[in-house]
Amino acid sequence: MNTASLAQSKNKASMGTSFRKNLPGWLLMLPSIVLFLFFVWEPLLESVRLSLYQSEGMRLVQFVGLQNYVDVFHDPDFPPAMRNTVYYTLWSLVIGFCVPMILAVLINETRGGRSLFKIGIYLPNIVPGMAMVLMWGFIFKPGNAGILNVLLSYIGIGPQPWLTNPAWTIPLIVIILTWQGAGATALLYIAGLQGIDPELYDAAIMDGAGIWKRVRYITLPNLFNLARTLLILQIISVFQILYQPLVMTNGGPNNASISIMQLVWKYAFEKYDYPKAGAVSVLISLILVVLTVAYFKLSKEKDL
Amino acid sequence: MRKAVFVLCMTLALVAMASAEKVTVRLGIWPEDTLTGDIAMHQGFVKDLNATYPDVTIVPAYYKYATDTFVSLAESGQLPTIFESWFTEPQKLIAGKFVKDVTAEVKALGWDKKMNKAVLELMSKDGKIYGVPRDAYALGLMLNVDLFKQAGLVDKNGLPLYPKTWNELAKTAKIIKDKTGAAGLCLLAKDNAGGWHFTNIAWDFGAKFEVQKNDKWVAQLNSPEAIAAMQYVKDLKWKYDVLTADPTNEDWGTGFRELGTGAAAMYIAAQDAVNQPTQVNGLDVKSLSLVPVPAGPKGQYSLMGGTPYMFANNATSAQVTASLHYLEIMGRAPMVNDKTIAGLKADAQNRQAQGVPVLPTFPAWTDPAFLKAQQDAVDAYRNVDMRLYNDYYVKVAQKDNLRTEEPYCAQDLYAELTKVLQAVVTDKNANIKALLDSAQKNFQPILDKTVNK
């Protein structure tokens, strides 16, 4: 027996022991692994496979290679859907990314009634999604009967088109998203803020640092990792925006708000063309994987 | 009630187990739980059916067709034996092989010869039949008579002075808007239903969206006629301002709500949906009128189609035949006997009780004896002033008034037209020619790929 094979068999033995040692751990993880396999990984791989076939309903009929992807690229709704999804994401960063941070700092600085504010900003989050979009539908309704237009009429401003103005549709939907989601994110930031050692602030104050310097040199660096994770999560979730435009504008007017997920929805539930729905889903996940990896690579050296 | 249905199901299931040859039909066209009157009517139908066909077991399996549930049910083999779908769906369901070819069963009963040809075509592919019609429809113009009265638009008999042409419609709508504040017309622009209605308007302006040239199907979305029709719609919004506040949020259902609740005076709709403004949205049965679609500069057409009953693709021939017998009892088949007459009467009586106009249906079947029986049932339970409906029935009976949908990829056509509608009703400066050019550019490849292969 040479050294290499000796090392190998030792290795095997130690792996065996370590597996036995870790058995309770594996057992604990087993239900999650099974669930993941069944509900996440298997469907994921299945939709990749689906996207390479032609089908009748969900029955695969013929392998067609990348034809579904080619067809999807030639769909006249694909370019606007892709473009809009990028706009949703960018607008959500412009409008929505800083809001929770600001809310968190404000609440953190508040002396009394902090819980009241925390609950207040979190409440929109527990409104069921469908109720929320219907409510905002009434608020943004164009014509004389819309809630905002009624309010505007009191100060002498005529009715505005709101969501039916193609230039406003996406920013307005992002405002709704922010209203709904900022509270929950703010709570995470508050937790982050409260994890910062107060002695750092005391020391900074003694050194004569003002509020801006304290934010710049203590608060922001300490929140950096959290903010980065939340940024990625926000991009991933906004990239998959579906029901808000679907219900409020049905992707209109003239595709001004159609999102890439709505294209998936259209293929699957309007045309029963599941392979193309699968193809678009695969594209979405590829884009998100690339974005995430690129971002983490770029910001690696800044890790604290 | 639910308990009663449950007991009924269990009894039927037990009976089914007792005899192996028995045929069990899962009836997707059973009424939903809350419609107790309708359920009682169907329980009567089951009794009648079993008197003649004791081997058939009916299992209530209420199913309301919906695009997000259909495929899962079909793929898992759980579709009811017979179910009702939408008039838009047959070709899609046939292409996906979700539904059974029932040619043999329908022919055995001789129904294929008694079916309206246009309707038969809608439910067939390559000479095979995949469904039978619940009824057919032809679009007309529904009016809220109360609003016409408020606007003073009634003749000396109190009948609404409805618009005969699209130009008159714009003016009538303006008067109504000025005098009552309600919208003159509810135009749809949220989903494909917008394009569907628009094709009917555009036909009257002389548009033909699909024509065959040298064996190729060519789209004509940007023809001068289509542009004129789109300009008309744009004028309704920007010149006359007679539409509801947000057409891009109006779909088939909200249109009936606007009409039924008095928020709009006119709406393009068909006779098979008269329960929508009345029973569903509370309009008094006497305040509804249905008149012909107005004429345009190049003609007057009514878009016609049919609502299909279709069959699960795993249904056996015996199950399909039993389902067809059930339709017979319901009075939905071209057969005339005591049972069908009773079925037709029960239906008319039920409509009368629910405050739904009892009207002649639009004939999906052509059998004269059946049509007469249907007419008799309707006459016996009449609850509306037929003067509010006669012109519609006269018009749709005229030669060349009826047209079926454009032959290929109608839903894709509607999707493209709807996008243009959305643009013209939301942008005062929309360039109609450019928008329709781009719709044309989007739609022709779909035709090429699907039809001109």
Answer for the pair B345, B379: CB distance below 8 angstroms, yes or no: no
Q: Does A124 touch chain B (CB under 8 A)?
A: no
* Domain coverage including residue B182: 138-301+394-447
Token match 């060519």: residue? B218
B95, closest residue in chain A (CA to CA): A56
Same domain? For B79 and B147 the reply is: no
What is the predicted pLDDT for the residue at A12? 62
Same domain? For B187 and B78 the reply is: no
CA distance B322 to B331: 14
- Greatest distance between any 2 Cα atoms in chain B: 72
Q: Does A59 touch chain B (CB under 8 A)?
A: yes
User: For chain B, percent helix, then strand, then coil, each to nearest 5?
Assistant: 50, 15, 30
What is the predicted pLDDT for the residue at B87? 82
What is the predicted pLDDT for the residue at B5? 56
Report residue A97: phi and psi, to 5°: -70, -40
CA distance A200 to B275: 71
H-type alpha helices, B390-431 = 390-397, 410-426
| Contacts of A297 by beta carbon, 8 Å cutoff, 6+ apart | none
Q: Would you call A57 and B74 a contact, using CB atoms and an 8 Å cutoff?
A: yes
Give the N- to C-terminal CA distance of chain B in Å, as an integer: 54
Q: Name beta bridge partners: B138.
A: B304
Count of beta carbons in the 10 Å neighbourhood of residue B355: 15
Same domain? For B426 and B406 the reply is: yes
Instruction: Identify the DSSP state of A163.
Output: G
Same domain? For B87 and B214 the reply is: no
Same domain? For B275 and B149 the reply is: yes
What is the predicted pLDDT for the residue at B8? 56
Domain spans of chain A, in order of start: 3-50, 68-302
We report the CATH number of the domain holding residue B68 as 3.40.190.10
B246, closest residue in chain A (CA to CA): A142
Same domain? For B156 and B252 the reply is: yes
What is the predicted pLDDT for the residue at A112? 86
Structure tokens at B240: 């006359």
Answer for the pair A274, A53: CB distance below 8 angstroms, yes or no: no
What is the predicted pLDDT for the residue at B6? 57
Same domain? For B206 and B326 the reply is: no
Task: Report yes or no on B65 lying in a domain.
Answer: yes
Whether the link from the prior residue into A253 is cis, omega within 30° of 0, is: yes
Give how many domains chain B has, as a whole number.
Answer: 2
Residue among B67, B97, B248 minimizing CB distance to A269 = B67
| Residue closest to B351 by CA, chosen among B367, B374, B372, B333 | B374
| Residue closest to B442 by CA, chosen among A79, A264, A75 | A75
ipTM over cut 0.85: no
Q: Which residues of A touch B249 (CB under 8 A)?
A: 137, 141, 249
Instruction: Identify the DSSP state of B21.
Output: T
Q: Does B191 touch chain A (CB under 8 A)?
A: yes
| Contacts of B14 by beta carbon, 8 Å cutoff, 6+ apart | none
Q: Would you call B425 and A146 a contact, using CB atoms and an 8 Å cutoff?
A: no
Taking only the tens of pLDDT, chain B with its 453 residues reads: 556 655 555 555 554 444 446 899 999 999 988 888 889 999 999 999 999 999 999 999 999 998 889 999 999 999 999 999 988 889 899 999 999 999 999 999 999 999 888 888 889 999 999 999 988 899 999 999 999 999 999 999 999 999 999 999 999 999 999 999 999 999 999 999 999 999 999 999 999 999 999 999 999 999 999 999 999 999 999 999 999 999 999 999 999 999 999 999 999 999 989 999 999 999 999 999 999 999 999 999 999 988 899 999 999 999 999 999 999 999 888 888 888 898 899 989 999 998 999 998 877 888 888 889 989 999 999 999 999 999 999 999 888 999 998 988 898 999 999 999 999 999 999 999 999 999 999 999 999 988 898
Task: Report yes or no on B362 lying in a domain.
Answer: no
Beta strand pairing status for B82-84 and B124-125? unpaired
Q: In angstroms, what separates the C-alpha of B112 from chain A's closest C-alpha?
A: 27
H-type alpha helices, B182-316 = 192-204, 224-238, 252-260
CA distance B156 to B238: 33
Structure tokens at A101: 């941070």
Question: How big is the A-B interface in CB pairs under 8 Å?
Answer: 76
H-type alpha helices, B241-389 = 252-260, 317-330, 338-353, 368-380
Q: Where are the beta strands (DSSP E) in B195-293?
A: 210-213, 216-219, 264-270, 288-291
Q: Which residues of A touch B246 (CB under 8 A)?
A: 141-143, 164
Using the 3D structure, point to which of B282, B316, B333 is the last residue of a domain. Answer: B333
Instruction: Identify the DSSP state of A75.
Output: -
Q: Where are the beta strands (DSSP E) in chain A?
A: 53-56, 59-63
User: What secondary structure does DSSP assign to A103-122, as a single string?
Assistant: HHHHHHH--S-HHHHHHHHH
Same domain? For B262 and B317 the reply is: no
Task: Report yes or no on B379 lying in a domain.
Answer: no
Task: Report yes or no on B155 lying in a domain.
Answer: yes
Same domain? For B281 and B170 the reply is: yes
Task: Report yes or no on B257 lying in a domain.
Answer: yes
Q: Which residues of chain A have pLDDT under 70?
A: 1-15, 301-304
Q: Would you call B422 and A254 a contact, using CB atoms and an 8 Å cutoff?
A: yes
Answer for the pair B191, A250: CB distance below 8 angstroms, yes or no: yes
Q: Does B426 touch chain A (CB under 8 A)?
A: yes
Q: Is B444 strand, coil or helix?
A: helix
Report residue B210: phi and psi, to 5°: -135, 125
Give whole-number Cα distances, B436 to A114, A121, B192, B425, B430, in Å.
56, 46, 16, 14, 11
Q: Would you call A249 and B248 a contact, using CB atoms and an 8 Å cutoff?
A: yes
Same domain? For B216 and B316 the reply is: no
User: What secondary structure does DSSP assign to A241-255, as a single string?
Assistant: --HHHHHHTTT-STT
Same domain? For B95 and B176 the reply is: no
CA distance B135 to B74: 24
CATH 3.40.50.10490 fits A68-302, yes or no: no
What is the predicted pLDDT for the residue at B32? 87
What is the predicted pLDDT for the residue at B2? 57
Same domain? For B57 and B98 the reply is: yes
What is the predicted pLDDT for the residue at B3? 61
